[in-house]
Structure 1
């Protein structure tokens, strides 16, 4: 599709936005706006087959996510956003690469509340920070299952904490969705470009 190749090319060399110049940002923003104008799925929350699943982040303007890369002796690995519409849940999982046996994980779980056919309110409820090996992390899908069946991980596995949903909430709008690409915009003005895993 016209515009999709341009967007994918524009985000390819910026490491999710970590290595992004102002001109890169402008090019990505323009390519995203062009693609959003040609959205083949105007009611994405009705297209659960397309929206459901695990999405890998290709680009974001979210400083919260990109600042994870500032952890000493570590680098930001893949970031996933996993949508489970049947349960009205969303999971953000960031892998953190470090020295052997010290690779980590930052995960948050939230509830979704649809407010239109393209927008959901997001209420963050739980966070987990720890090393991948003690947490038994293998993949986003496997770890989400562990989150769903483990009310609280032991402190030997990591830090598992409740998040006050009244203080930590926002919204996410799906502005473009096809079979393998999604563009979203958040309440803090953030842009997200994701590819289905």
Structure 2
């Protein structure tokens, strides 16, 4: 048997006739002693004739490594790669206070890490994955906040300067059915001593529409401010919107951004002014 195994390993000899099972493989008792990474495959095409005139099958040795990788293997490898790249991005933006503490080096590292995820994830198609937008998303990084204003690259109140405003958590609440798109910002407003700071939540309501395969356009509707903490009993206040003639050209009430990566728990967007934003599902 050892001599036979050595011969089979080096050439596809005809080694079975009636010993082959109906499935085309030798029965386990016939291949005992062969390496487990090989299979003896018997072909029933163009059968050879044995000495007594009965057809017999020709067999050859097939290595398990000859099989092409399955789609499941490719999908698992890509999922593991994306998980690793997401961890790298989270590490790059951690400790940056959502971008308010980012310097030029931090901005570059975050941008490079995001580009790796975007490349691995491939193009986003919101006509297929629109349902993944649904929910409340927490902002963990915005490159626009490095300008040290709450408006990012657009005009906005400064933080920690003349106005003692402390930025809290920032969320986006998206409803794919009603097309509502709300930016929710938690703020702490300083007050003269001995008054305690006021905690408020500002909700900037928008509606959205999909443009192309991955771009979202939002149109501003209204701003509502609700006191929290010690003043939570106060009713919400709707902030009047400035007339179009009085608004600066940079504040048109609408904007657009592209979703460059999207899965069940992570979303990356790039805005119309170059802002990179990273969200996780909340």
Q: Give the match for residue 227 of structure 2.
A: 131
Match 1:170 to one of 255, 263, 267: 255
Task: State whether structure 2 residue 272 is matched by structure 1 residue 191.
Answer: no
Q: Rg bigger for which structure?
A: 2
Rounded to whole Å, the distance in 2 between the matches of 1:4 and 1:135 is: 37
For residues 58-77 of structure 1, the aligned pairs below 5 Å read 58-63=140-145, 64-65=150-151, 70=159, 72-77=163-168
**Structure 1 range deviating more: 102-111 or 17-26:** 102-111
Q: Give the match for residue 81 of structure 1.
A: 172
Aligned pairs, number: 179
Rounded to whole Å, the distance in 2 between the matches of 1:80 and 1:68 is: 19
Q: Answer yes or no: is the 8 Å Cα contact 2:131–2:176 preserved in 1.
A: no
CA positional deviation for 1:163: 6.4
Q: Answer yes or no: is the 8 Å Cα contact 2:159–2:166 preserved in 1.
A: yes
Q: Give the match for residue 110 of structure 1.
A: 206
Q: Give the match for residue 237 of structure 2.
A: 158
Match 2:186 to one of 95, 98, 111: 95
Q: Answer yes or no: is the 8 Å Cα contact 1:46–1:117 preserved in 2.
A: no
Give the structure-1-normalised TM-score: 0.79
Q: Give the match for residue 93 of structure 2.
A: 11
**Structure 1 range deviating more: 103-112 or 14-23:** 103-112
Q: Answer yes or no: is the 8 Å Cα contact 1:122–1:171 preserved in 2.
A: yes
What SS does the aligned partner of 1:87 have?
A: coil
CA positional deviation for 1:174: 0.7
Give the structure-2-normalised TM-score: 0.57
| Unaligned ranges ≥5, structure 2 | 1-82, 191-195, 245-250
Q: Answer yes or no: is the 8 Å Cα contact 1:40–1:178 preserved in 2.
A: no
CA positional deviation for 1:167: 2.2
What SS does the aligned partner of 2:97 have?
A: coil
Rounded to whole Å, the distance in 2 between the matches of 1:69 and 1:45 is: 38
Higher relative contact order at CA 8 Å, sep ≥6: structure 1 or structure 2? 1
**Structure 1 range deviating more: 163-172 or 187-196:** 163-172
* RMSD of Structure 2 on Structure 1 (CA): 2.7
Rounded to whole Å, the distance in 2 between the matches of 1:56 and 1:158 is: 24
Q: Give the match for residue 46 of structure 1.
A: 128
CA positional deviation for 1:104: 1.2
Rounded to whole Å, the distance in 1 between the matches of 2:164 and 2:256 is: 33
CA positional deviation for 1:94: 0.5
- Relative to structure 1, is the Cα distance of residues 130 and 108 closer, same or farther in structure 2, using a 3 angstrom cutoff? same
- Relative to structure 1, is the Cα distance of residues 31 and 76 closer, same or farther in structure 2, using a 3 angstrom cutoff? same
CA positional deviation for 1:60: 0.4
Which digits, 9 at most, give the CA deviation of each residue in 1:64-103, with x for residues without a partner? 4455561644411100011111011210001013575710
